[in-house]
């Protein structure tokens, strides 16, 4: 589990980042995740993001909201993030990601990711290797991952799988943590208000220790992108 106020379960309100940018493009994004089944059924995360692709870097501001089961939704953190593409290494697009998260009721946190992306024909595969650290706590660095692969089966329709999970910490590196994985479907509506709306929906099944708290999680991502 990463040290984030809003994202309690791996993947809840998160996404798998690509390793390339589109200079001049501006994005508005909404991400929503909700746990189903188990003791934590109804817990959700809602993230609003505004980003711009500059010539050599991607920069974004995020507002994260969370809701505990049977509770009220509340603002839990505001964050800034950046992606620096490194180009192709051994045929794989590679980038570095950094985030600073100002947490409302808890220690601030920093997070770094190594972003890897491979596109071959109609296939798009991505892997994010994650390291997060809660400031002013003195605890270990927490590790995790996010991964996806999908293929275009029709014009503007892609299907695939996504997975999120924890890999322990700098004190105890282990794959015996919370994991969620399942199918996703992606589509896009072009020429909408001069831009493009991308839609991703899916359901991730709880794996490993995650089954102690939930059966899975529903996911919905909406991203509007436009060159201004």
Question: Per residue, what are the HEC states of the chain?
Answer: CCCCCCCCCCCCCCCCCCCCCCCCEEEEEEEEEEEECCCCCCCEEEEEEEEEECCCCEEEEEEEEEECCCCCCEEEEEEEEEEEEEEEECCEEEEEEEEEEEECCCCCEEEEEEEEEEEECCEEEEEEEEEEEECCCCCCCEEEEEEEEEEEEECCEEEEEEEEEEEEECCCECCCCEEEEEEEEEEEEEEECCEEEEEEEEEEEEEEHHHHCCCEEEEEEEEEEEEC
Rounded to whole angstroms, the Cα distance separating 168 from 184 reads: 26
CA 34 vs CA 7, 101, 104, 187: distances in Å: 10, 21, 21, 21
Its pTM stands at 0.94
Q: 166 pairs with which residues across the strands?
A: 144
Q: Cβ distance 133 to 113 under 8 Å? A: no
Position 138 scores a pLDDT of 82
How does pLDDT run along the chain (228 residues), one tens digit per residue?
A: 444 444 469 999 999 999 999 999 999 999 999 999 999 999 999 999 999 999 999 999 999 999 999 889 999 999 999 999 999 999 999 999 999 999 999 999 999 999 999 999 999 999 999 999 999 878 899 999 999 999 999 999 999 999 999 999 999 988 888 999 999 999 999 999 999 999 999 999 999 999 999 999 999 999 999 987
Q: Cβ distance 144 to 169 under 8 Å? A: no
Position 8 scores a pLDDT of 66
Position 136 scores a pLDDT of 84
Position 164 scores a pLDDT of 98
Rounded to whole angstroms, the Cα distance separating 178 from 207 reads: 7
Position 1 scores a pLDDT of 45
* 35: nearest Cα among 1, 65, 69: 69
């Amino acid at each position: 589990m990463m040290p984030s106020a809003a994202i309690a379960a791996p993947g809840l309100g998160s996404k798998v980042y690509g390793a390339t940018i589109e200079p001049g493009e501006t994005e508005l994004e909404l991400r929503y995740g909700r746990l189903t089944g188990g003791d934590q059924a109804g817990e959700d995360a809602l993230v609003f993001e505004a980003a711009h692709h500059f010539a050599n870097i991607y920069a974004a501001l995020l507002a994260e909201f969370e809701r505990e089961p049977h509770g009220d939704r509340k603002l839990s953190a505001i964050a800034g993030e950046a992606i620096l593409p490194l180009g192709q290494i051994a045929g794989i697009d590679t980038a570095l990601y950094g985030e600073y998260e100002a947490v409302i009721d808890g220690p601030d946190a920093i997070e770094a990711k190594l972003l890897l992306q491979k596109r071959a024909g109609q296939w798009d595969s991505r892997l994010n290797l994650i390291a997060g650290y809660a400031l002013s706590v003195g605890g270990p660095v927490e590790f995790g991952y996010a991964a996806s692969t999908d293929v275009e089966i029709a014009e503007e329709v892609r299907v695939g799988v996504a997975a999120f999970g924890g890999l322990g910490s700098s004190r105890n590196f282990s794959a015996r943590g919370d994991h969620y994985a399942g199918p996703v479907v992606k589509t896009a509506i072009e020429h909408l208000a001069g831009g493009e709306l991308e839609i991703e929906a899916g359901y991730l099944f709880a794996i490993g220790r995650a089954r102690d708290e939930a059966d899975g999680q529903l996911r919905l991502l909406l991203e509007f992108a436009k060159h201004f």
